[in-house]
Structure 1
Amino acid sequence: MSVRTLCVAAALAALLSSCAGRPPSEGGSLATSFAPAKALSSPKKADADDPVALTPAAWGRLGNPGSLAGRTIDVSSLSDIKLRDKEVVLSFDDGPMPKKTERILATLDEFGVKATFLMVGEMAKAHPEIAREVVAAGHSIGSHTYRHPDLAHLSFDAAVAEIEKGKAAVASATHEDPEFFRFPYLSDSRKLRQWVGDHGMVVMDVQVDSKDYFGVTPAAVATRTMNTLRVQRKGIILLHDIHIRTAAMLPALLTQLKAEGYKVVRLRHAGGSRMLTASIMGSTETVVR
């Protein structure tokens, strides 16, 4: 096994183990996870929690998902991100990851919606072909540092170096400038946020944490996300494209979003030389990642 392969494996292990402790196991079926909402039928003879059986096409036919796509917001300042009632933004951290990211891309394409992918530099460097698939599919991209450290535990100069290295790695892999940024663990500081904005990136915050990094069923992830949305009614949703449970539950989640009248909004960087620091504040939920 090469040194590079060992490094990538170690980085992935750190990502997977860095989340909070696992809660009690949550079960349930993706086809029956949404009792408070409009009833949906699942594909016959399919195990809804089976990542293979639950295909984007199967769920797409159920929900006629064409109208799920909402408007595009060109982002160049905080004031540009004004989500209306029942508008959400999909964001995926920590990838790209073979088999998981491609499957998520296929689902998003099936439902006709766009997301923002915040890539870890090491992962983009290890899987540049997948990183470029994200760009080719028309999704927005951002960086998530190079190796996913808690920047609050680094000096300011070391944190800046980590951010710059991550951005450069994503740019090299995708051949595009990553114009969005998310702090690992959402661990930031006023000074670092200012630096990120001054250097042309939009900071992505989170209002709806799917907690898909816990060792629970796909159904539990989908149910938790919808329950939070029913309270907050809008916001940026945090997901991760490194987990099979996320890829497995995404068709059901998007089907339910459509059934309840939500729209998936695309964020697009407007460019220009203005200071770019965008976030949506006000969430009362503690977000782990």
Structure 2
Amino acid sequence: MVPRLAFVCVLSCLAMAGCASKPPSGLEASRTAYVPVADGQSLRGRDQADEPPFSTFRNAPGKRSSGALAGRTLKVSSISEIRLRDKEVILTFDDGPMPGKTDKVLDILDQYGVNATFLMVGQMARSYPAVAARVVNHGHSIGGHTYNHANLANAGNSRALTDIAAGNAAIAKATGTEVGFFRFPYLAHTGALRRAVAERGQVILDVDIDSKDYFTSSPATIAARTMARVRAKRKGIILMHDIHKRTAAMLPSLLKQLKDGGYKVVALQYRRSRMPEVLVSAGNAGTKSRQM
């Protein structure tokens, strides 16, 4: 039996504002605690509350839809380059990979012919490297989300950057791919930390539309709530989580509504603009060197 993630959800919801090219004015995210894993061990756990069962989706391997929902591809080296047109959205999934759940999300995205960005937790990628690699093999972009989903706002730059680097290293090892994007857990950050991450060459992804799929709601409720925010904002980066059954269960409805409404899903690709600066050691936050 495949072990599952051990975590406890403590919900926190704070208001957000701004567009995809600007940091949000507040925080709006779930509180999820991840239990560190020893070498060679996997993660176990359960969602805090019972969730509805998956809908069933059967797709021929590698078969994709006509792609009517798929929009353009943006190759970006900074968040300022993410400039969406009216009725364009970007799909993002945090906190995985999770066996079964991430796999289901990937199958649904294939069915609708669209690509997303997966912001992975380092210890999850380390525990489930085959699932992490499958995300890349299906053509999706990846990003970091720290090693163990820590709140970095009050951690101090040295400790925070070390945690981010550890997460990126685990993800890169599992996927064999450069980790070009990053999202702060709980969207909690400081201006100095944002600048430091950008200097390391990563594109920070903020959030415009929070699906709030971390709340125990029905798939229909999550899809309707998300679409209501999409219609209100008309464009933006959508936050979801590939660790919840309810997210995969609601995803076909959300994608169908986006397609029927004339929206396009924009794919992100990371474009390196220069060599990043990296921290030499946790104990020497002021010293930097060029990554080889």
TM-score (norm 2): 0.76
SS state at 2:96 partner: coil
Partner of 2:93: 92
- Structure ranking higher on relative contact order (CA contacts 8 Å, 6+ apart): 1
After superposition, the Cα gap between the structure-2 partners of 1:261 and 1:275, relative to the gap in structure 1 and judged at 3 Å, is: farther
8 Å Cα contact 2:71/2:265 also seen in 1: yes
Partner of 1:153: 154
Structure 2 segments unaligned to the other structure (5+ residues):
14-50, 60-64, 278-292
SS state at 1:66 partner: coil
How much is the aligned-residue C-alpha RMSD, in angstroms?
A: 2.2
CA distance in 2, matches of 1:119, 1:78: 18
Q: Deviations over 1:146-203 (max 9, x none)?
A: 0011101312211111111111111111111110000000001111111111111000
Partner of 1:131: 132
**1:20 aligned onto 2:12:** yes
8 Å Cα contact 1:77/1:275 also seen in 2: no
SS state at 1:18 partner: strand
8 Å Cα contact 2:79/2:205 also seen in 1: no
Partner of 1:189: 190
8 Å Cα contact 1:129/1:173 also seen in 2: yes
Task: Give the CA deviation at 1:18.
Answer: 3.4
CA distance in 1, matches of 2:257, 2:247: 15
After superposition, the Cα gap between the structure-2 partners of 1:275 and 1:127, relative to the gap in structure 1 and judged at 3 Å, is: closer
Aligned residues: 234
SS state at 1:70 partner: strand
CA distance in 2, matches of 1:185, 1:82: 23
CA distance in 2, matches of 1:218, 1:175: 33
8 Å Cα contact 2:78/2:202 also seen in 1: no
TM-score (norm 1): 0.76
Moved over 3 A (4+): 49-54
Q: Deviations over 1:22-61 (max 9, x none)?
A: xxxxxxxxxxxxxxxxxxxxxxxxxxx964445376xxxx
Q: How does 1:39-54 map to 2 (within 5 A)?
A: 51-54=53-56
Normalized per residue, the structure richer in strand is: 2
8 Å Cα contact 2:105/2:242 also seen in 1: yes
Identity of aligned residues (%): 52
Normalized per residue, the structure richer in helix is: 1
1:13 counterpart letter in structure 2:
F
8 Å Cα contact 1:56/1:107 also seen in 2: no
Partner of 2:213: 212
